[in-house]
Structure 1
């Protein structure tokens, strides 16, 4: 698909956002588009999701031992 309709692009971004566990690559494969194309659509739409393991880690205050080491 060289030129996709705007509705398809919007639906693709919505699908990506609805799958928080999925990355760009499998969603793009499901849709039959290049991963970079989907990535560009997501960026253009201003969509954002937490990325990687850092986003999953909770932020806890440092312990007394951690404060001494800092």
Structure 2
């Protein structure tokens, strides 16, 4: 989702970095500095991992919930477009039947 300058990390790297934060007792910032990555990236990965384990903040979505929300929003957009096409068709045929 990022732009062309956004660095991508493999899932294994993210998993290992999160495990290092959990096991080392160091702060997210310290671990990120050791690994040479952005502390904000690691903080986001860590927050998502905690939410997936059920340890996140109240109301925070898990990865599965985020994926479902994304899918439902896409489906909603497609249905809204379909409804608009059908509405225009109904208006067109209503005008045609009046002639």
Give the shorter-chain TM-score range.
0.5 to 0.7
CA distance in 1 between counterparts of 2:27 and 2:16 reads 16
Aligned residues: 47
Structure number with the higher helix fraction is 2
Which residue number in structure 2 is paired with residue 40 of structure 1? 44
Q: Calculate the TM-score normalised by the size of structure 1.
A: 0.61
CA distance in structure 2 between the aligned counterparts of 1:44 and 1:32, rounded to whole angstroms: 20
Displacement after TM superposition at 1:24 (Å): 1.0
Q: 1:6 aligns with which of 7, 11, 26?
A: 11
Instruction: Please tell me the root mean square deviation across aligned C-alpha atoms, in Å.
Output: 1.7
Structure 2 distance, partners of 1:31, 1:23, is 13
- Structure possessing the higher radius of gyration over alpha carbons: 2
List structure 1 runs of 4+ shifted beyond 4 angstroms: none
Structure ranking higher on relative contact order (CA contacts 8 Å, 6+ apart): 1
